Each structure stands twice: as C-alpha cells, then as structure tokens.
Amino acid sequence: MAGHLLAAGHEVAVHTRTPEKARELVERGATMVGSPREAAEGRDVVISMVGYPEDVHAVHLGARGTLSASQPAGLVIDMTTSRPALAVEISKAAAARGLDALDAPVSGGDIGARNATLSIMVGGSEAAFAKARPVFETLGKTIVRQGEAGAGQHCKMVNQILIAGTMLGSCEGITYARAVGLDPATVLESVSGGAAGSWTVSNLLPRVLRGDFNPGFFVEHFLKDLSIALEEASAAGLDLEATALARRLYELAVGQGRGRLGTQSLALVLEERWRKGLPVG
C-alpha cells in the first residue's frame, strides 16, 4: 500500500517495528523514521495499519504517537481493523488538536492491497473523507463513507460477521461431504455456481481440498475481529449466536497452535473432531 503511494508520486516516511519489511520501500525512495511521532511530523497525512487495538492506541495516542508531534499531520487515518470506540477516541483527540481523523479498515486481503482493489470502509466527517479520497483511490477500488467516526469499523465488523457465517457453512458442508463419502471436489462443481455460492466456497474451499492452510488471513486476526464484533453487538443488546460459535471454534484453533494459519483451517478443526468422534465446539 505504501508502494502505491510512492508510485503515485507522494513523499512517504515509514515506521515499522520490523524494518526489513520496509527495505524495498526505502530503496524506492521512502524515508525510514524511528517512531509514529516522526512519521506524522510535518506531514499532510499519516496512515496506520497495525495488528491489534492496543497497537492502534500506541501508534496514535501513545507517548511517541502521531498526535504527540509538534506539527502533526492534518489528517490521521487508521486502516487497522480495530474497535469502533477507539476510532471515536482518536477522532476526538485529533479534533482537540484541530486535526481530522478517519477510521478506514479494508477488505480484500494481501491481493487487494497489492492490486489496489481494496474495499475501504470509512468513518469520519464528510470533509475529512473528501480530503482523503485521492489517497484512498490510490489504495483501493470500492471507497464508501459509512458515517461518522467508528462507522468504518462497524462496517468492517459486518464484513467479518458475514465471513464468519459463510465460513461456518463452508467448513461444515465440506466436512459433511467427507463424512458421508462424497468426493468434495465433485461436490464443489455442483454447488459453487448457485444459491450456495460465495467467495469463500470459490476461493477457500479449493485450498482446503488441496490441504493448503496457508494464511490469506490469519486465524488469530480473525479471532480478534470476531471478539470486537461480539463485544459491540453485546453493547447494542444483540446476541450473535453464529458469530459466537465461530469465535469459539477459532479459539479452539488458536489453542491447537493454528493462530498463524489461514481462516480456512476451521475445516481442519471440524474434520479432526469428526474423525475423533468428538462433538464439535
């Protein structure tokens, strides 16, 4: 994503805890800096994309965070999938310094990031969104403002809830196919193109059939997202049973050392429990 910004002619400063990851960017002209604060100092825009809400908090609100700069970037964008309430907190802290902030989590995975085809779900003021649009257009394809601060995160939660249900059905379906003695690949020929079809069925179940459990998206990150979604739902008085079931099964997967596998490894959890004759969950 930073590469797209360089390619579009922007001057880019990068900070990362794993400097090797930025080597190629530095070779292409980016400046490496030592903290989020330095990344924000005197810039027009500062963008974060990290792992967990705690990281987002540190990057923007911490002692060496972007908002501690003497001349901080006028527009603060967090693209991590994180807590809606934290997005509101950052937005307020930014406003207190006269700055704009947007939450702008994405979907589309590493492929979407590489090809600049991400869906970017944005929360924040219309004015800030208008300022950020040229940057977003460099990074993604589907760019939609969902509402005020936190709304981008809430929209991403919907995205993850949809995936959780589809993944449950997909992994139960493929495990059923194996359990009753069907050939799963032949089953996919019949079911992929119709009302049972989904991105997950078309893209992840073939990986399951090949025994490829490498991450498109890490189990441990998905578990984080589902936990945020369930907390937010609970705060809104909403009980999401399917999402809660998915969280329980992904917790099992993490407990089995599968946190750095791809989300499709839910199929492994279900199949192993079936082979052992254990109830699932």
User: Which of these segments, 60-68, 128-136, 206-214, 229-237, binds its own copies (CB under 8 A)?
Assistant: 229-237
User: Taking the alpha carbons of 80, 47, 87, 128 in that order, is the dihedral positive or negative?
Assistant: negative
**CB of residue 103 to its own copies, shortest distance in Å:** 13
2 neighbors 79 (Cβ within 8 angstroms): no
d(Cα 5, Cα 150) in Å, to the nearest integer?
A: 25
Q: Which is nearer to its own copies, 186 or 214 (CB)?
A: 186
Which residue has tokens 């509101």?
A: 88
For residue 267, give the amino acid letter: A
Q: Does 209 bind its own copies (CB under 8 A)?
A: no
Which CB sits closer to its own copies, 72 or 112?
Answer: 112
Beta bridge partners of 48: 78
Using a 10 angstrom Cβ sphere, with 0-12 exposed, 13-18 middle and 19 or more buried, the burial of residue 35 is middle
CA–CA distance, 88 with 164 (Å, rounded to integer): 25
Binding residues for its own copies, rule CB under 8 A, total 74
Active site residue 156: yes
Length of the chain equals 281
CB of 121 to its own copies, least distance (A): 5
Question: Could you say which residues in the range 4-43 bind its own copies, by CB under 8 A?
Answer: none
* From 21, 131, 141, 156, active-site residue: 156
The answer to whether residue 52 forms part of the interface with its own copies (CB under 8 A) is no
Residue with smaller CB distance to its own copies, 23 or 275? 275
- Name 41's Cβ contacts closer than 8 Å, sequence gap at least 6: 69, 70, 71, 72
- SS3 call for 100: strand
Binding residue for its own copies, selected from 200, 213, 218, 268, defined by CB under 8 A: 200
Binding of its own copies by 159 (CB under 8 A): yes
Answer yes or no: are the C-beta atoms of 102 and 77 closer than 8 Å: yes
Letters for 162-191 (x = contact with its own copies by CB under 8 A, - = none) are xxxxxxxxx-xxxxxx-xxxxx--xx-xxx
Which stretch, 6-14, 59-67, 131-139, 198-206, contacts its own copies (CB under 8 A)? 198-206
72, 84, 124, 215: which one binds its own copies (CB under 8 A):
84
Residue 147 within binding range of its own copies, rule CB under 8 A: yes
What distance in Å separates the CA atoms of residue 137 and residue 148, rounded to the nearest whole number? 20
Q: 245 to 264, contacts with its own copies by CB under 8 A?
A: 245
Min dist. Cβ of residue 165 to its own copies (A): 2
Contacts of residue 136, defined as CB under 8 A and 6 or more positions apart, other chains included, come to: 104, 120, 122, 143
Binding mask 262-281 for its own copies (x = CB under 8 A): -----------xx--x-xxx
The SS3 of residue 218 is: strand
Q: Of the candidates 198, 220, 252, 254, which one interacts with its own copies according to CB under 8 A?
A: 198
For residue 14, the cross-strand partners are 32
**Binding pattern to its own copies, positions 87-116, x when CB under 8 A?**
--------------------xxx--x----
User: Do 247 and 223 form a contact (C-beta atoms < 8 A)?
Assistant: yes
54: tokens are: 């705690």
Which amino acids are annotated catalytic? 156
